Amino acid sequence: MLVDILINVIKGVVILIGLLTGFAYMTWIERRFVARIQVRLGPNRAGPFGLLQPVADGIKLLFKEEVIPEEIDKPVYNLAPALSMIVAVIAFAVIPVGDTITLFGRTIPLHLADVNIAILYVLGVSSLAVYGVVLGGWASNSKYALLGGLRASAQMISYELALGVSLVGVLMLAGSLSLVDIVEAQRGVWFVFLQPLGFMVFWIAAIAETNRAPFDLPEAEQELTAGYHVEYSGLRFALYFMAEYIHMITVSAIATTLFLGGWRGPFMSETLGPLWFSVKVLILLVTFVWFRGTFPRVRYDRLMSLGWKVLLPLAFANVMVTAVALVLKDAFF
């Protein structure tokens, strides 16, 4: 019993270190990639190829003087960025990054927990992310921050519906809510080939859920002077910054697990599972950056119309088509 607890603690620490490292170097990848799109060089001073730039940025934010407005709700103001960060991390607890490994005669599964309602856990935890954003905007006692928080709440609620419905087709094909079982169900064919519409709806909704361009209206610099985190600086701003990038990693990991076969690859998947998983997640993360450097920010009314009038009906249509296909399969095969 004690050994099992110790193993889970070690796995939790490894996940946390991996996410923090991924966040740091995702900022480097984004700055370099967007620079290439815009025919610039990007960070190239701190370390070879600028690889130490995330370290320099972290040290700068750690020691930067914090400016705290006077008329704020201090407990909520302090809690909001920490809440966003915690929610972004704990969703990773049920995501399998590989099959199993054997150490000292013990078989260790490469996931922290395998629960039979993992999808509901992920959706429930990700829904809490809106609280960190809304509370941060409200507690700052700033009209710009409040508008950013309200935009974020409306946007997340709207796109969360389409995101949740887009997963129903996957659950119908897998016959389970466990992410481990869903990966196992993709042993023959990845669900992205059986659910292309579901994947498209999920990915667009996921980009909106993470407040990334072209859906970054809660942080619109031209309108809201950085939105809900405009009154944050120093380490508190760094927590919001970290939460956004870790949320990107988590969303990419969920998409990989549900649609791209999880840790399975074309060969030696049981051995190279974590490697295949990391490669797929990295490819999806690069598409976040690609979208940011390609598409202009959409108008807010069109953002909401896309969620309610386009993505949500498409998600329901995908569920109906999947249900009909499964009934016909059972009837004729």
How far, in Å, are 45, 50, 60, 158 from residue 53 at the CA level?
A: 8, 5, 10, 36
d(CA 254, CA 243): 16
Query: Which pLDDT belongs to residue 271?
Result: 78
For residue range 145-202, list pLDDT tens digits in order.
888 888 888 888 889 999 999 999 999 999 999 999 999 999 889 999 999 999 999 9
Instruction: List, in order, residues 6 or more apart from 302 with CB less than 8 Å away.
Output: none
Alpha helix segments (H runs only) across 64-190: 74-90, 118-127, 129-139, 143-166, 168-174, 179-185
Query: Which pLDDT belongs to residue 61?
Result: 84
- Please state the separation of Cα 189 from the chain's center in Å: 24
Query: Which pLDDT belongs to residue 199?
Result: 97
Which residue carries 């966003």 as its tokens? 84
Query: Which pLDDT belongs to residue 238?
Result: 87
Percent of the chain with pLDDT over 70: 99
Which residue carries 């709700």 as its tokens? 73
Instruction: List, in order, residues 6 or more apart from 62 with CB less than 8 Å away.
Output: 234, 235, 238
By the 8 A CB rule, do 169 and 238 touch? no
pLDDT band at 329 (very low <50, low <70, confident <90, very high): confident
pLDDT band at 69 (very low <50, low <70, confident <90, very high): confident
Across all residues in the chain, what is the average pLDDT?
89
Mean pLDDT for 12-29 is 91
Query: Which pLDDT belongs to residue 315?
Result: 96
By the 8 A CB rule, do 205 and 50 touch? no
Instruction: For the chain, count helices (H), then strands (E).
Output: 15, 2
For residue range 231-279, list pLDDT tens digits in order.
888 888 888 888 889 999 999 999 999 999 999 888 777 778 899 999 9
Mean pLDDT for 130-149 is 87
Which residue carries 């959706």 as its tokens? 123
CA atoms within 13 A on the CB side of 167: 24
